[in-house]
């Protein structure tokens, strides 16, 4: 008979649930309630609580879901004790970049997908941080784009473009350097 205290007995089950590895040929059988007992005979450990937000969990827990399952039902899982410095970027369900999934969990966030989050959408330069501008496709002066850093150095090549502000620039890089979207190729 398996004896355990606290969440120790539930960690393999929770990891399998969170990582989507439940089931399959190599999966360990799910422990039954009669196998999970605490040191007191006849007293069973409570099952992890189902949740939709971390507010439904204890302060030292968060509502864990599998990657890409943002907004779906999860289970209250303990916060990680410590995270390593491995760089394996993830984008959280709230659109925040984390160094790895452990750091996201430590901040009570679930992973939406691996890699960095896309830049936020914008319609004007006012929506971007200092040193950035709202980059858009050529000819899309009134549409939406994404905040990108203004280039600091551009070539002196003469490939004139007409900016959405009605001014001619030596090339597209020079227009981007001052935060102007290209209206059309060639002079205004």
46 occurs within a structural domain: yes
> At 56, phi and psi to the nearest 5?
-85, -5
- Residue 47: what pLDDT? 73
DSSP-derived secondary structure letter, 80: P
Q: Reduced to 3 states, what is the DSSP secondary structure of residue 56?
A: helix
- pLDDT confidence of residue 75: 96
Count of CB atoms within 10 A of residue 113's CB? 13
Q: Are residues 96 and 80 in the same domain?
A: yes
Q: What is the CATH number of the domain that holds 149?
A: 3.30.60.30
In the chain, the DSSP E strands lie at: 50-51, 61-64, 74-78, 90-92, 97-98, 111-114, 121-122, 132-135, 145-149, 161-163, 168-169, 182-185
Give me the pLDDT at residue 126, please: 94
**pTM of the shown model:** 0.50
In a domain? residue 21: yes
Q: What is the DSSP string of 158-185?
A: ---EEETTS-EESSHHHHHHTT--EEEE
Q: Is 5 within a domain?
A: no
- Please tell me whether residues 58 and 97 are part of one structural domain: yes
The one-digit pLDDT tens for each residue of the chain (188 residues) are: 344 444 444 455 444 455 554 444 444 444 444 444 445 555 666 677 899 999 999 999 999 999 999 999 999 999 999 999 999 999 999 989 999 999 999 999 999 999 999 877 899 999 998 999 999 999 999 999 999 999 999 999 999 999 999 999 999 999 999 999 999 999 99
Q: Answer yes or no: do 101 and 137 share one domain.
A: no
Q: Are 51 and 73 in contact (CB under 8 A)?
A: yes
The whole-number pLDDT of residue 32 equals 44
Domain span at residue 154 reads 121-185
In the listed set 114, 131, 157, which residue is the last one of a domain according to the structure?
Answer: 114
- What 3-state class would DSSP assign to 104? helix
Strands 111-114 and 97-98, sheet pairing? unpaired
């Amino acid at each position: 008979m398996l004896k355990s205290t606290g969440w120790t007995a539930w960690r393999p089950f929770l990891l399998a649930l969170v990582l989507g590895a439940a089931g399959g040929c190599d999966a360990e059988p799910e422990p039954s309630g009669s196998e999970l007992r605490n040191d007191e005979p006849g007293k069973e450990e409570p099952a992890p609580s189902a949740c939709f937000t971390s507010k439904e969990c204890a302060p030292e827990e968060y509502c864990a879901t599998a990657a890409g399952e943002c907004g779906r039902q999860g289970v209250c899982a303990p916060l990680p004790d410590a995270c390593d410095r491995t760089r394996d970027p993830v984008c959280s369900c709230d659109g925040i970049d984390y160094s790895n999934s452990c750091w996201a969990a430590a901040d009570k966030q679930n992973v939406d997908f691996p890699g960095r989050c896309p830049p936020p959408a914008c319609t004007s330069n006012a929506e971007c941080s200092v040193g950035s501008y709202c980059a858009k496709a050529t000819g899309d002066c009134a549409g939406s784009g994404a905040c990108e850093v203004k280039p600091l150095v551009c070539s002196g090549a003469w490939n004139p473009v007409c900016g959405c502000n009605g001014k001619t620039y030596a090339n597209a890089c020079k227009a981007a350097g001052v935060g102007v979207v290209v209206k059309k190729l060639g002079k205004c």
